[in-house]
Amino acid sequence: MKLRDYLTEGIHDKGIFKACFMSGSAASGKSYVISKIQSGFVEPRIVNTDTWTEYYMKFNPQFDWSEYGEKIQHLTKKQLVNYLNSMLPLWIDGTSSNVNAVLRRKGILQSLGYDVSMIFVDTPVDTAIERNKARNRTVDEDFLIKAYEQAQKLKSYYQSEFHHFTEILNGEGELIDEVIVDAYKRMSSFFTSPIQNPIGKDLKESMLKEGHKYLIDTDEYTIQYLNKLVDSWYRS
């Protein structure tokens, strides 16, 4: 796996300037939902630290975050810089229990021209606890319960903050074909629809006119600026 493997066509890629936040408690099934509803027409990149964590875990069954954490964070940041530079469509995967972080990241994306949406995966806490026990990487049960309670408190707030908001029930037997197809259609429509953000619309038009492929090809953005944005993205 190399960083250049994540670079694509930039301004000519499908679904540019579109990002969807995945919200819900730990073990709610967010990654599974992504795998079921993503469209073959657009291939959003997944933004989280799990990609590189799982990569290193394959080579070291005794994986220790203290040994790999700094490198994983560095690679995750560099990967996101490449994604943003190419304006690629994104899945923002996380619990979203930190509302300040969600709003900060939403603001960063919108400042670059992105349209943003959210999928809230609602899974009963008892079901999430059982699924957590079956995962390769479990989280502390107390943390999971607190994250669930916080997510429930924030659900209505996020619904007001994200114009394009979809709730998916993922309890036992709830993620049926009808639900998956409906969510698939909604997200396909979002990722393939015309850009609504005025910044993104103007940028795309000017970049196509001037023959620019990436944000840093323009006068408005530099790699240093994108690095600063990503540092802010991952600020504690």
- Give the tens place of pLDDT for each residue, 171-199: 999 999 999 999 999 999 999 999 999 99
Q: Is residue 3 very low, low, confident or very high in pLDDT (cuts 50, 70, 90)?
A: very low
Does residue 211 have a pLDDT over 90?
Answer: yes
Higher pLDDT, 55 or 35: 35
Rounded mean pLDDT, 227-231: 96
Predicted pLDDT of residue 223: 96
- Give the tens place of pLDDT for each residue, 121-143: 999 999 999 989 887 778 899 98
Q: Is residue 1 very low, low, confident or very high in pLDDT (cuts 50, 70, 90)?
A: very low
Predicted pLDDT of residue 120: 94
* DSSP assignment of 72-83: HHHHHHHHHHHH
Rounded mean pLDDT, 163-169: 94
What is the rounded CA–CA span in Å between residue 108 and residue 59? 34
What is the rounded CA–CA span in Å between residue 55 and residue 72? 10
- Give the tens place of pLDDT for each residue, 17-42: 999 999 988 889 888 899 888 866 78
Residue 172 gets which letter from DSSP?
T
171: tokens are 């309890």
- CB burial of residue 108 (10 Å; 0-12, 13-18, 19+): middle
What is the rounded CA–CA span in Å between residue 109 and residue 92? 11
Q: Which residues of 90-104 are buried (b: 16+ CB within 10 A; e: fewer)?
A: bbbbbbbbeeebbee
108: tokens are 């960063």
Place of tokens 């943390």: 143
- Give the tens place of pLDDT for each residue, 103-117: 999 999 999 999 999
What is the residue-averaged pLDDT of the chain?
Answer: 88
pTM: 0.88
Rounded mean pLDDT, 75-82: 92
Does residue 60 have a pLDDT over 70?
Answer: yes
Place of tokens 């560099």: 78
Question: Where do the structural domains in the chain lie, given as residue ranges?
Answer: 7-233
Predicted pLDDT of residue 203: 96
CA–CA distances in Å: residue 48 to residues 21, 128, 221: 11, 20, 24
What is the rounded CA–CA span in Å between residue 24 and residue 37? 16
- Write down the architecture of domain 7-233 according to CATH: 3-Layer(aba) Sandwich (3.40)
Percent of the chain at pLDDT above 70?
A: 90
220: tokens are 């408005």
Predicted pLDDT of residue 236: 75
List the one residue out of 152, 151, 187 whose CA is nearest residue 166: 187
H helix runs in 138-215, sequence order? 141-161, 177-192, 198-210
Predicted pLDDT of residue 48: 83
What is the rounded CA–CA span in Å between residue 64 and residue 49? 14
Secondary-structure percent of the chain, ordered helix, strand, coil, rounded to 5: 55, 10, 30
